[in-house]
Chains A and B, each alone.
Chain A
Amino acid sequence: MRKQMEGSQAVAEAVALCRPEVVCAYPITPQTHIVEGVGALVKSGKLSPCEFINVESEFAALSVAIGSSAAGARSYTATASQGLLFMAEAVYNAAGLGLPIVMTIGNRAIGAPINIWNDHSDSMSMRDSGWIQLFAETNQEAVDLHIQAFKLAERLSCPVMVCMDGFILTHAYEPIDVPGQSQVDEFLPPFEPVQVLDPADPYSIGAMVGPEAFTEVRYLAHQKQLEALTAIPEIAAEFEAIFGRASGGLLQSYHTDGAETIVVALGSVSGSIKEVIDTMREAGVAIGAINITSFRPFPLEELRHELSEAKRIVCLEKSLSPGLGGILASNVRMSRRGTGLPVYTVIAGLGGRPVTRASLTDIFTRAASDDMDDLTFLDLNWEAINEQLSRARDIRHSGPIAENILRTLNPGGVQDASSRSAT
């Protein structure tokens, strides 16, 4: 049923429709509304049978899910940012144990400095964990991806994280079609694990594996992700057949035919990018965009195909690898190996900084005429940066960068009366 509702609430309902048996979570902004929503459904009896467990840390949350999944229960949790890092050990563990846990990440920046707003640093920190990582562009897609995620996870015995931009999606009200229970039941059969903890048929799960076998295990984990490159579109097709809309898949192209410049991005920013693409195309610029849904596995071949005619690529990403540059960009570059064509990195939206049409238009225009550095930080306050750098040249500072910059950015600068807007 189509309803105007909050993204988090819609995701909570979608998760509940998937009949999870064990849900556990620890609160962290901006995922709180999702877990609260699921919790309310359990408490009221609408989601039953389901055990909802309030845990004492994110590490415990994913650990509980590991235990319940290994015992054959469909398991779900959600986190973000610091919480994802706190459970990092368990994240790798879950993937290594092949447990089909689904986890929502309400994408949020990682500190220090502490920051509660959106960027992709959290999911990026776990990109090598062996989890499948799907990024939602809209709240509708977030709902659909969660439903697809349970099926995907259980088909491959591989955990899946569904990433949705914190605040921008989680806390936004928009029209969302939440499917009915019978449709979801038709799409998603009950969880039937192959290897499970059961006194009737004892298994030992989680042994130490030495040099003689570890590489084989890791190769098979890689293979599983490559399998997902096929499974993801298959499941998206199965989804469309039942729910009647195209959703998910590895990536979506937007006016890439004949585009000389193609912008590649993840998540909700693709919506704003499409607006700019339309405007620029109307002005005669041959520009298009690709929104990547599956970041892991990374769709190297599909991307290579989509980008094959372009003259240049702009990777617009909400992530940064200090000392290297862009993370999405490095991945995208791999799909361009052998072509030597430019891939510009634009780091944008870190820590929740708004990514505006004006700034996007400016940067895409520059890219289209190759008037661009390899790496650009969108909307950077160069005045503050240069002042800080020159101060640092004179006096060595230690300690947090954020506190050091404050000396440049007029701390405690209360507006004096004369500068207030005239009445």
Chain B
Amino acid sequence: MESKSSQRLKFYQTGTHTVGNRLLDDAKRTVQASINRSNAITSGHRACQGCGEALGARYVLDSAMRVTEGQIVAVNATGCLEVFTTPYPETSWQIPWLHSLFGNAPAVATGVAAAYRVKGRNEVRVIAQGGDGGTTDIGFGCLSGMFERNDDVLYVCYDNEAYMNTGVQRSSATPPAARTATTPAVGDAPGNVFGTGKFVPLIAMAHNIPYVATASVADLHDLEAKVTRAMSIKGARYIHIMVPCPLGWGSASNETIRIARLAMECGLFPLFEAEDGRITASSKIRRRVPVEDYLRTQKRFAHLFRKGHEDTDRIQQLQRMADYNIEQFGLVESGEQQ
């Protein structure tokens, strides 16, 4: 991550099928670019075509496996990731993995970490993971407890903004106006209501834990760097990753990464890092876009764009949310404001 004083190369390729930055020297290539990556989640899992979470989880764990030389234990909350990776009697996990309950992944991870500590095996690190439902709602109490104790656990939240595994119901991470099965697009205020919702990264920061970051499947280098940074720190750490869900969002399965990028570039999903409660860096938006560009890609927002009945009010409210993020997190280089 850069501070304001240094410059970052703003090069990226669009519309190609290139994988793995062949033009970069080895040291700068992503973990995913290597055929020797641990492939913590191997092929054969039952995720939907285009699943952002499958991608995100593999990105995170392969990075962590490289940094720790394979000394990772994963604890999973109930949810899509747990279900599609372990269709009994098969498993796609190549690492030690435990699924207990929906709401207790952080606490279980605390226990695993304590066991390794008491046995003097300090090289083994614990990663807890869950979706937004298991993290921001039902697991929130345990998450806060783990943060408060500063247990040596990295918690990763894969945020697809609803309870996807049970049929797309609203969670406290569901954005306003989004259609879900429990916030249907009917009535005067279609979709999820405004004025609700939690942004857990800020709550994590309020616990003053050593490291908090947001990341996206659309920026692999950034995600891997953040996991690497997190694994170099002992104590409670939190990474919140936006992972589009084609099924739940009503988006094309080959658009997952592009949609994740649009979420960043319109400002609705800020990328930043924080240590001990203070923001230390944020990713600048390379090419700012209006929220509409992002919203139009997903059927869960289709009701905002009905022909002849465009919901300009709500679209503008969402735009204001994006504007607010851009200001709060310093997402646009000064002088580049649109």
Are chains A and B touching directly in their complex (CB below 8 angstroms)? yes
Asked if A205 contacts B99 (CB within 8 A), the reply is yes
Q: Give bound CA distance, A201 to B97, whole Å.
A: 11
User: A-B pairs with CB below 8 Å: how many?
Assistant: 163
Overall SS of chain A's interface: mixed
* CB neighbours of A51 from chain B (8 A): 114-115, 117-118
Q: Give bound CA distance, A205 to B94, whole Å.
A: 12
Asked if B141 contacts A53 (CB within 8 A), the reply is no
A227 to chain B, nearest CB (A): 24
Q: Give bound CA distance, A198 to B121, whole Å.
A: 11
Closest to A64 in B: B111
Partner of B101, one of A65, A90, A210: A90
A7 to chain B, nearest CB (A): 27
A410 to chain B, nearest CB (A): 42
Partner of A68, one of B91, B95, B99, B115: B115
* CB neighbours of A114 from chain B (8 A): none
Closest to B102 in A: A89
Please tell me which stretch of A31-39, A71-79, A124-132, A363-371 contacts chain B, meaning at least 4 of its Cβ atoms lie within 8 angstroms of it.
Answer: A71-79
B219 to chain A, nearest CB (A): 28
B249 to chain A, nearest CB (A): 24
Asked if B142 contacts A59 (CB within 8 A), the reply is yes
* CB neighbours of B91 from chain A (8 A): 204, 207
Closest to A60 in B: B107
Asked if B70 contacts A67 (CB within 8 A), the reply is no
Asked if B104 contacts A90 (CB within 8 A), the reply is yes
Number of A residues, CB within 8 Å of B: 44
Q: Give bound CA distance, A47 to B236, whole Å.
A: 26
Q: Give bound CA distance, A24 to B107, whole Å.
A: 11
* CB neighbours of A64 from chain B (8 A): 107-108, 110-111, 114
Q: Tell me, yes or no, whether B54 is within 8 Å of chain A by CB.
A: no
* CB neighbours of B111 from chain A (8 A): 22, 24, 53, 63-71, 73, 75
A-contacting residues, B109-127, CB 8 Å: 109-120, 124
Asked if A21 contacts B141 (CB within 8 A), the reply is no
Asked if A67 contacts B109 (CB within 8 A), the reply is yes
Asked if B108 contacts A21 (CB within 8 A), the reply is no
Given contacts A21-B115, A56-B142, A207-B89, 17 further A-B pairs with CB under 8 A are A22-B115, A56-B145, A59-B141, A63-B110, A64-B108, A68-B115, A69-B115, A70-B98, A71-B115, A93-B101, A199-B96, A204-B91, A206-B82, A206-B99, A207-B88, A208-B86, A213-B88
| 7 residue pairs A–B, Cβ–Cβ below 8 Å | A55-B145, A63-B108, A66-B100, A67-B112, A197-B73, A199-B95, A206-B86
A residues contacting B by CB (< 8 A) are 21-22, 24, 49-51, 53-57, 59-61, 63-73, 75, 89-90, 93, 97, 197-199, 201-210, 213
